[in-house]
Amino acid sequence: MVAAAKFRKAQQRMFELRPYAERMSEGLSRLAANLEAEIHPLLAVRPRKNVEVLVITSDRGLCGAFNTNILKAGAKHVADLKSDGFNVSISSVGRKAKDYFKRRSVELRNSWTGISGKISYANAQEIAADIIESYTNETVDEVIIVYNEFKSVIAQKVVVARLLPLAPIEAATPDTLPVFNFIYEPSKEEIFSSLVPKNVEIQIFRALLESQASEEAARMSAMENATKSANEMISKLSLQYNKARQASITKELMDIVGGVEAMKG
């Protein structure tokens, strides 16, 4: 019941933000579709050498395979990148990811914990500022985000997506999007210097909310399954107890009857 109440709140926040995040990426893609040159550092596509992987999990357990699926996908992607010759750094959100990599002696570049259940936009801004700084300083050439996308109460999808350079903008071409002759006011540079970092914050915020809704849905399902299993175990043990009790009573009655018959003889 507690998980259900938290899930409804997390689901509402996620549903409210999802269209905004999608439209923002689409809008920036349209604006950048026919730019003559890259006008913002976060749009710069460099040869990949250093890749950062941001893994988003929960702080608490008791949510089924929610964290396990994320950590397996994140670890596999890191291993694939390393096998391809890339230098990989890892950042994490959630205590489960931090503990997972700590147990495997994997050093994290940065980590954020204690935000599950109380996610705010300020959390996304803090994470985005750290990632943007690493990218603009050319410490990393690409940032990958791994999180659970909410599909339904019983289904979550592990998403491994590129966060930087901004994939929606970089992927926009005159062949895939309509081309318009926009009038930029005050200027392209000022517009993109404001909107591009904002888009990174929004996409991270969306991933956090998607993960939160998925976590509460998984926890609700896990608690429901646990309750069902407990009730089944109680019924089974009660049946065994009643059978044992009945056998004991029957044995005692047989002993009494046997004793009476012996006295008669």
Query: How far, in Å, CA of 86 to CA of 180, rounded?
Result: 38
Q: Report the alpha-carbon angle 174-141-176, nearest 5.
A: 15
Neighbours of 80 (CB within 10 A): 12
Which uninterrupted H or E stretch holds 119?
none
Residue found by looking up tokens 């002993």 in the block: 255
Residue 70 sits at the vertex; the CA angle it makes with 209 and 208, to the nearest 5 degrees, is 15
* Closest C-alpha to 222, from 159, 158, 153: 153
Which of these is catalytic: 42, 51, 63, 90? Answer: 63
At 151, list the tokens.
């599909």
Sequence-separated (6 or more) residues with CB below 8 Å from residue 194: none
Give the whole-angstrom CA distance, residue 175 versus residue 185. Answer: 26
Q: 146: which strand partners?
A: 55, 160
The answer to whether the CB of 110 falls within 8 A of the CB of 129 is: no
Q: Backbone phi, then psi, for 161, in 5-degree steps?
A: -130, 155
End-to-end CA distance of the chain: 66
* 63 catalytically annotated: yes
Contact between 78 and 108 under an 8 Å Cβ cutoff? The reply is no
Q: Which residues are catalytic?
A: 63
